[in-house]
Amino acid sequence: MSGSPWGSGGNGRPSGGGGGNNRPPNIDDLANQFQDNLKKMFPGKKMPGGNKPILLFGIIILGLWLASGFYRVLPDEQGVVLRFGKYVNQTQPGLHYHLPYPIETALTPKVTRVNRIDVGYRSASDTGRATGVSDVPEESLMLTGDENIVDIDYSVFWIIKDAGKFLFNIQAPEDTVKSVAETAMREVIAKNGIQSILTEGRAQVEIDTQNIMQEILDSYDSGISITQVQTQKADPPKEVIDAFRDVQAAKADKERAQNEAEAYANDVIPRARGEAAQILQQAEAYKREVVALAEGEASRFLAIYNEYRKARTVTQERMYLETMEKVMADINKIIIDKKSGGGVVPYLPLPELKKNAGN
């Protein structure tokens, strides 16, 4: 009976390839078994050259089997060595060696390739259509923190950072990443208002979602790194989007009116404040002038009063003369000395004569 090269030999001794000893098959057993099979096929004839051809053939087979353990890891790959299907080692890019099959095998997954998962929608390449994008409401509709509903589509980009953990710690990696993405995004959306999600807060939503996803995947020891979360669309549900846009337009009009009012106030209020400050300064100057004049008059009165107490007659005469000087300063007047010898005709127009004489 002919036997398998990995089975028991013709002499009844077990070969080294099977069973539980985990050793390569015995070459002598293989050669003897091969020779016995040839003798059975050609009875009565002696093989030329003895066992040398068979031994040479066995050595060649052994060399090829041992050489099959060489493998190369490309720069964008990581090598993962398995011994009887169990992960034992991880290798970096370059040429490496492992024990030949079936003892050890090597896997070389791509670790620099950026993988993409779309959530909330499917592109044409995913749905098999020529063009267009199909929406997936059960993934895209989410409840916001202010109890509104937002329809958000987004993409997750990820790479393998540890090939061993990626291959053996999680099942269905793409489904796992997608489920984690939905969980993280719903958590972030539930903490924010719809206005922030649709406008200036979208970038922060992406960052928070990426951080939560990475924390969850690290807790799974998944060997996956999230490189980016990118929102493709964030809108209210299509059933109410028209009403929502009307509300947004009204808010925009309100903000524009407020901005115009603030601009007008910023123009009027500073000018009014400037005018008020100017009036206050003028009043303060007038106050100081009046007070100074009053203080000066009071000081002058006190000075005259003190002089009056000292010499009443002289002071009265001086005051009389000063007063008359002020009263008669702008009056045309003729002074006639009564002690002079000549007289003056009472009706003579002396002022007119004086003017003519001056001309």
DSSP track, 167-224? HHS-SSHHHHHHHHHHHHHHHHHTTS-HHHHHTTTHHHHHHHHHHHHHHHHHHTT--E
Q: Are residues 92 and 156 both part of a single domain?
A: no
Q: Are residues 120 and 176 both part of a single domain?
A: yes
Three-state DSSP class for 61? helix
Cα(184)–Cα(80) distance, rounded to whole angstroms? 30
Q: Are residues 153 and 215 both part of a single domain?
A: yes
Three-state DSSP class for 334? coil
Where is pLDDT greater, at 103 or 278?
Answer: 278
Task: Decide if 327 is inside a domain.
Answer: no
Range of the domain at 245: 240-315
Q: Are residues 127 and 218 both part of a single domain?
A: yes
Give 173-183 pLDDT, tens digit per residue. 899 999 999 99
Task: Decide if 331 is inside a domain.
Answer: no
The residue assigned the tokens 């009043």 is 283
Three-state DSSP class for 118? strand
The pLDDT score that the predictor gives to residue 17 is 38
CA distances 81 to 65, 87, 100, Å, are: 17, 6, 11
The residue assigned the tokens 């979208």 is 202
The pLDDT score that the predictor gives to residue 272 is 92
Q: Are residues 128 and 221 both part of a single domain?
A: yes
Give 70-101 pLDDT, tens digit per residue. 877 777 777 787 888 777 777 788 787 777 88
Q: Are residues 91 and 23 both part of a single domain?
A: no
Cα(23)–Cα(256) distance, rounded to whole angstroms? 83
State the average pLDDT for the chain. Answer: 78
Cα(91)–Cα(234) distance, rounded to whole angstroms? 43
Domain boundary among 67, 82, 98: 67
Q: Are residues 247 and 222 both part of a single domain?
A: no
Going by pLDDT thresholds of 50, 70 and 90, the confidence category of residue 6 is: very low
Q: Are residues 172 and 224 both part of a single domain?
A: yes
Going by pLDDT thresholds of 50, 70 and 90, the confidence category of residue 212 is: very high
Mean pLDDT value across residues 270-277: 91
Q: Are residues 207 and 146 both part of a single domain?
A: yes
Give 37-77 pLDDT, tens digit per residue. 655 654 554 544 456 677 777 788 888 888 777 877 777 77
Q: Which two tokens stand for residue 144?
A: 């916001």
Task: Please name every residue paired with 142 in a beta bridge, in sequence order, or none if there are none.
Answer: 150
* pTM summary value: 0.51
Cα(229)–Cα(184) distance, rounded to whole angstroms? 11
Do residues 106 and 96 make contact, with C-beta atoms less than 8 angstroms apart? yes
Q: Are residues 229 and 257 both part of a single domain?
A: no
Share of the chain above pLDDT 70, in %: 75
The two beta strands, 104-107 and 94-97, are unpaired
Domain boundary among 190, 220, 238: 238
The pLDDT score that the predictor gives to residue 289 is 93
Task: Decide if 339 is inside a domain.
Answer: no
Give 214-223 pLDDT, tens digit per residue. 999 999 988 8
Cα(285)–Cα(307) distance, rounded to whole angstroms? 33
Cα(201)–Cα(226) distance, rounded to whole angstroms? 20
The pLDDT score that the predictor gives to residue 311 is 81
Mean pLDDT value across residues 20-27: 50
Q: Which two tokens stand for residue 212?
A: 């939560």
pLDDT above 50 (res 3): no
Residue 147's domain is classified under what CATH number? Answer: 3.30.479.30
Of 19-23, 61-65, 141-145, 326-330, the least confident: 19-23
Question: Would you say the C-alpha torsion 262, 266, 267, 269 has a positive or negative sign?
Answer: positive
Going by pLDDT thresholds of 50, 70 and 90, the confidence category of residue 1 is: very low
Q: Are residues 153 and 225 both part of a single domain?
A: yes
Task: Decide if 157 is inside a domain.
Answer: yes
Q: What is the DSSP letter of 71?
A: E
Give 110-128 pLDDT, tens digit per residue. 777 889 999 988 876 665 5
Task: Decide if 346 is inside a domain.
Answer: no
Of 5-19, 258-272, 296-310, the least confident: 5-19
Q: What is the DSSP letter of 46?
A: P
The pLDDT score that the predictor gives to residue 16 is 37
pLDDT above 70 (res 314): yes
Domain boundary among 238, 269, 302: 238
Of the ranges 3-7, 14-18, 96-100, the best mean pLDDT one: 96-100
Task: Decide if 323 is inside a domain.
Answer: no
pLDDT above 50 (res 148): yes
The pLDDT score that the predictor gives to residue 113 is 85
Q: Are residues 160 and 254 both part of a single domain?
A: no
Task: Decide if 188 is inside a domain.
Answer: yes
Going by pLDDT thresholds of 50, 70 and 90, the confidence category of residue 336 is: low
Domain count, the chain: 4
